[in-house]
Amino acid sequence: MPRISQLFFKTAILFLIVGIGMGLQMSISGIHNVTGAHAHANLLGWVTMALFGGFYAHNPAKAQGRLAFVQYGVYTLGVAIMVPALYLMLAGNPAFEPLVAAGSMIAFLGVILFAVLVFAPDRQQSARTSHPAAAE
């Protein structure tokens, strides 16, 4: 499995632990005001990162470039800023709203970078297509 896939899966597990921790905290306290942060930790942290990891595992040519690691760093930074800031904002601290916005924009940039990788031609495939004799 490519290293980038392992990074995404390991980070996804950390976000799952955080998301479940938030859910447990809400359940035990009976106060559900941070549901949005709980959902973002689970969906953007756990689910989306696991999907990124799966994509790279099934597309090793796209996992090898520097852009995949930049995408990991940007997306992870965005979610790591957004989720705790959203938790604190929803818990009654509106001063964290600018951090939620900043984290959201950074995470969105990470998604745009992923889209670039998904739509970019595969390096090995494009090399075979541009040199027909090499494919024989």
Domain ranges, ordered by start, for the chain? 3-120
Provide the token pair at 132.
Answer: 């027909």
Spatial CA neighbour of 1 closest among 46, 48, 59: 59
| pLDDT greater than 80 at residue 132 | no
DSSP 8-class letter at 121: P
Q: What is the pTM of this model?
A: 0.89
Angle at 84 between CA 69 and CA 43, to 5 degrees: 60
Looking at residue 126, its pLDDT comes to 47
Looking at residue 29, its pLDDT comes to 96
Asked whether 48 and 71 are in contact (CB, 8 A), the reply is: no
Cα separation, 127 vs 124, in Å, equals: 5
Looking at residue 122, its pLDDT comes to 82
Please write the tens of the pLDDT for every residue from 57-95. 999 999 998 999 999 999 999 999 999 999 999 999 999
DSSP 8-class letter at 113: H
